[in-house]
Amino acid sequence: MAANSTQSHSHHGHDHNGHDHHRHAATPEEALNAAAKTCEKQGLRLTDQRRDVMLALAEAGKPLGAYDILSILTLKGYKKLAPVSVYRALDFLLDAGLVHRLESRNAFILCPHQHGANETVIFLICESCGRVEEALSEEVKGTLSRIASHHHFALKGQVIEMKGQCAVCISQPMVA
Ligand SMILES: [Zn+2]
Ligand SMILES: [Zn+2]
């Protein structure tokens, strides 16, 4: 189900609130360059295919399913790309912390931050327009770590999904 309501917001990136330090400020190219540097630091190889999957996500600026990515890449000229190739590229990008997976939507989103692979990330998902913002919280991370260690549980990076309404939708209710 392609959310047709997401389109209306995609053109005006900046909204009424000027204090948007969690916004995707980087252009797709900047995002890719930052990712390439992160890979270099970790000794990982950003192949053309991985790079192109990232570029598709960067240009979309919103979560995409694996098959959305596949069809974008097919349009870009990858004639015989198998779904498994996209999944492999996504697995790599997930492990590297460059991309996150939104369980609830079975979709992938480019990480706008340069944080470690095992970071705890929080997604604020707007149920009205589909906008997704990523936030980091040392407090939440600390709380989860304490719970885990109490249970002698080895915690991996967590993705927390919060649902509600974004600032834009609160200030200007849209007709669905
Ligand atoms: Zn992230
Ligand atoms: Zn919204």
pLDDT at 6: 42
The alpha carbon of 59 is separated from its chain's Cα centroid by a whole number of angstroms, namely 12
Q: What is the pLDDT of residue 115?
A: 82
C-alpha 175 to ligand 1 mean position (Å): 31
Centroid of ligand 1 to alpha carbon of 2 (angstroms): 24
Contacts of 22 (CB under 8 A, 6+ apart): 112, 133, 134, 135
Compute the distance between CA of residue 24 and CA of residue 84 in angstroms, rounded to an integer.
28
The partner residues of 162 in beta bridges, in order of sequence, read 124
pLDDT at 34: 84
Distance 141 CA to ligand 1 centre (A): 13
Q: Which ligand is nearest to the CA of 126?
A: 2
Per-block mean pLDDT, blocks of 10 residues, the chain (176 long): 43 43 66 85 88 92 93 85 92 91 93 83 94 94 96 92 95 68
Q: Which ligand is nearest to the CA of 3?
A: 2
Give distance in angstroms: CA of 49 to centre of ligand 2.
32
130 sits in the region (left: phi over 0; alpha: psi -120 to 50; else beta) called: left
What spacing in Å lies between the alpha carbon of 111 and ligand 2's midpoint? 19
Nearest ligand, CA 34: 1
Rounded Cα–Cα distance for residues 97 and 111 (Å) = 7
**What are the CA-CA distances from residue 75 to residues 30, 52, 99 (Å)?**
23, 12, 22
Ligand 2 centroid from CA 69, angstroms: 23
Centre of ligand 1 from the C-alpha of residue 102, in Å: 11
Look up residue 82 and give its two tokens: 């198998």
User: Which ligand is closest to the CA of 110, given by its number?
Assistant: 1
Q: Which ligand is nearest to the CA of 169?
A: 2
